[in-house]
Structure 1
Amino acid sequence: MTQKCTSPIIEGLPPQNSPTAILVDVRTGNHPDEGYDRVVFDFRDNTSTPGFSVSYVDQIIEDPSGNPLPMLPGAKLLVSMRWAAAHENGNTTVPPGDLDLRPGLARIKQVKRAGDFEGVLTFGIAVDPAGDPAPFRAYALSGSRLVIDVAHVGQSPWYCGEVFFGDQQKIVNNIDPPVTAVERRLIKPAVAGAALQELFKGPNEAERERGLVFVDSHATGFADLRVSQWKVAHVRLLGPISSDGSSVITIATEIIPTLKQFPTVDWVKIYDEDGKTGQPDGPVDSIPEQLEP
């Protein structure tokens, strides 16, 4: 079974950034109290933050040569940043030592540039050990930094959860349930709220290519999420929600399993913007009238 929180992360890959994001610094750090090693890619403040993908691969390949990149032993994380560069006007924009860092941390052994060509900037990260890829997360921070955290052995710095999106193939073929789960790293301790935030972000580029969609039923957001001592999750949807007459899928079809994955939730009650739902009392799932077929 694949270890949780090792699936690829893809965020904000635009067709083109303007201007190109210029890398100025690469640094690493050990965070034992939080339970992870960290790599930070710093970009110049007056340029845009690039879209990025981070995934485990069998081998890091140099771009544009196509040759294997010599690296220290370890599992290999490929970091690909689109419409980004570590050079400008023919000159490298980061200190030379940043192109091949060897910090010798508990997990991160090496961070090495693999390519800087035609707006695609790539780095390889060697993660110890080679045979057991460590859980990781990646995200943009403060608008000009890309952060990658790799969990220490035996640590769970974030919650490895799921979000359920509509699956167009299942919807067309009337397969129940018409949703498919995808992995998400959820910030503790408010993991239920983090899961709904990820739901409203929608599927990433690779998930959209698989036919996954966010069926929003015209909801513009959510509010007042709480979980009672009786394991009932309550959430209010914002906006002029409507099922559009669908008897197959609405936003409720996605929200209910997304919240029920947590051991503190057995039932889900969804309210409209005015705080109304079909069955407000008792241990039973409930949706507002607008989401009925």
Structure 2
Amino acid sequence: MNVVTLPVVPASAPAFTAPPRRAYTLLGVIQVVDTGDSGTTTSFGIRPVKSAAYKIYALSKPSRIVLDVTTPQRTVWARAHFLGTTGFNAAPPPYTTSVPRPVIPSATAYGALQRLFAGPAQAERTQGLRFVGSGVAGSSRPAIKGGIARIHLTGPCTGGGSTFTVASEIALMPKRFPPVKRVKIYDTAEQTGRSPAAPTPSRR
């Protein structure tokens, strides 16, 4: 992951109160992370879609820092699937709602996974969408062979006894990528809980 860190000198500026992690549906930026406040500076990590040139501007009226990121020349649309918490306990499956995300054509499956792990955008969160990470930090690039996408998770993985886990969201990926008919997901111990299986359809 490529991260650009922006130190911001607050001076007499008000305290920063936005969420520590924010996902975006922008063409060139996936996520912004508040990486810390030292008392004199506040730093942000910017997760771009790919390594790209960027420029930083300090503007006034109002006072702000602007990051201008070069966007990919071409993107296509994929879909990320998040848990819909509204009425989750009473609603029948499927429990997910899919939302559109721009990805690079040469890495559509991996781009969709990156967008998934970034989580829903703020407007989507207000609609009750949530990313269930199951303690996982991320995933490898999908290795696709014979119609099966093999995905290796990174970081600790625990479902906590829930029937809905990060695998429930990842397994829906094949709907949007014709070469993929099955998904096999491995934890850090190279274990998988089931054989390759067809995905369950989402609400969209």
TM-score, normalised to structure 1, is 0.47
Equivalent-residue separation in structure 1 for 2:55 and 2:178 (angstroms): 38
Q: Does 1:171 align with 2:84?
A: no
Matched, 1:206 2:151: no
Equivalent residue number for residue 153 of structure 2: 237
Amino acid at match of 1:260: K
Which 4+ stretches in 1 moved above 3 angstroms?
7-14, 116-121, 146-149
Deviation at 1:41, TM superposition (A): 8.1
| Cα deviation code 1:21-64 (max 9, x no counterpart) | xxxxxxxxxxxxxxxxxxx98324xxxxxxxxxxxxxxxxxxxx
- CA distance in structure 2 between the partners assigned to 1:273 and 1:223 by the alignment: 11
CA, structure 1 residues 259+196, in 2 after alignment: closer, same or farther (shift >3 Å)? farther
- Cα distance in 1 between the residues matched to 2:70 and 2:133: 29
Displacement of 1:274: 1.5
User: Does 2:55 match 1:42?
Assistant: yes
Residue of structure 1 in register with 2:105 after alignment: 188
Counterpart contact for 1:238–1:272, Cα < 8 Å: yes
Counterpart of 1:117 in structure 2 is: 62
The structure-2 alpha-carbon separation of the partners of 1:170 and 1:258, relative to structure 1 and needing over 3 Å to count, comes to farther
CA distance in 1, matches of 2:182, 2:33: 36
Give the conservation status (yes or no) of the 8 Å contact 2:133–2:166.
Answer: yes
Which runs of 5 or more structure 1 residues have no equivalent in the other structure?
1-6, 20-39, 45-84, 88-115, 122-143, 152-156, 287-293
Alpha-carbon distance between aligned partners in 2 of 1:41 and 1:236, rounded to the nearest angstrom? 31
Partner SS for 1:260: helix
The runs of 5 or more residues in structure 2 that have no matched partner are 1-23, 43-52, 200-204
CA distance in 2, matches of 1:145, 1:243: 39
Alignment of 1:196-275 (within 5 A): 196-223=113-140, 225-229=142-146, 231-247=147-163, 249-275=164-190
Residues 170 and 179 (structure 1 numbering): CA distance in 2 closer, same or farther, change over 3 Å? farther
CA contact (8 A) 1:267 1:284 kept: yes
Aligned to 2:5: none
Alpha-carbon contact 1:170-1:178 (below 8 Å) kept: no
- 2-structure distance, mates of 1:220, 1:236: 11
Cα separation, 2, equivalents of 1:170 and 1:267: 29
- RMSD of Structure 2 on Structure 1 (CA): 3.3
How far did 1:279 drift? 3.9
Residue 59 of structure 2, aligned match among 86, 102, 113: 86
Change (3 A) 1:118 1:216: same
d(CA) in 2 for partners of 1:200, 1:180: 15
In the TM superposition, residue 285 of structure 1 has moved relative to its aligned partner by 4.8
Q: Paired residue for 1:50?
A: none
Report the Cα offset of residue 178 of structure 1: 0.9
Q: 1:148 to 1:284 in 2, by over 3 A?
A: closer
1:276 aligns with 2:196: no
